[in-house]
């Protein structure tokens, strides 16, 4: 059994052109990636979780594909975020990419709604 000890968050433009009007440029979507190994070996597989509305996809990338896909994107790496117990949310929430990341990282900041707000929160709390 593997324990995930390192996450990397990437911010990019939104695929939805309507939402781009309301979101900060280049912060329209957040995607979370992780690896099951802690080394930087060439054959180290990465997994990306891509949330779009009510559904999400998990797909596997080789290290080369991972670095090619994420080149030039704003990113933050987070280590050791495996909480002992994650409490379920009391209030219902919107099924967004931000909500998915907050649930996976056990972030309780209810005021974080947009990808840019999540970016600022992560910069402040996970240096």
Hey, where are the domains in the chain? 6-125
25 vs 53: which has the higher pLDDT: 25
Label residue 63 exposed, middle or buried (CB < 10 Å: 0-12, 13-18, 19+): middle
Q: How far apart are CA 111 and CA 121, in angstroms?
A: 10
Mean local confidence (pLDDT), 108-120: 89
Q: Find the distance separating the first CA and the last CA of the chain, reported in whole Å.
A: 29
Residue 43, token pair as written in the block: 């054959």
pLDDT at residue 52 is higher than 80: no
Per-residue confidence (pLDDT) for residue 70, from 0 to 100: 82
Q: How far apart are CA 56 and CA 18, in angstroms?
A: 20
Does the pTM of the predicted model rise above 0.75? yes
**Which of 28, 1, 6 shows the shortest CA–CA distance to 114?**
28
pLDDT tens for 11-50 read: 887 666 666 667 787 788 888 888 876 555 556 788 888 8
Q: How, if at all, do strands 74-79 and 46-52 pair?
A: unpaired
pLDDT tens for 68-89 read: 888 888 888 887 555 555 566 6
Per-residue confidence (pLDDT) for residue 118, from 0 to 100: 92
């Amino acid at each position: 059994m593997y324990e995930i000890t390192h996450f990397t968050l990437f911010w990019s433009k939104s695929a939805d052109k309507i939402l781009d009007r309301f979101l900060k440029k280049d912060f329209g979507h957040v995607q979370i990636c992780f690896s099951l190994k802690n080394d930087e070996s060439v054959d180290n597989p990465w997994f990306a979780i891509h949330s779009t509305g009510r559904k999400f996809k998990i797909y596997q990338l080789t290290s080369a594909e991972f670095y090619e896909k994420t080149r030039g994107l704003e990113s933050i790496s987070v280590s050791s975020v495996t909480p002992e117990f994650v409490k379920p949310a009391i209030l219902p929430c919107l099924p967004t990419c931000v909500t998915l990341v907050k649930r996976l990282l056990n972030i309780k900041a209810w005021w974080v709604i947009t990808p840019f707000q999540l970016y600022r929160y992560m910069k402040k709390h996970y240096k």
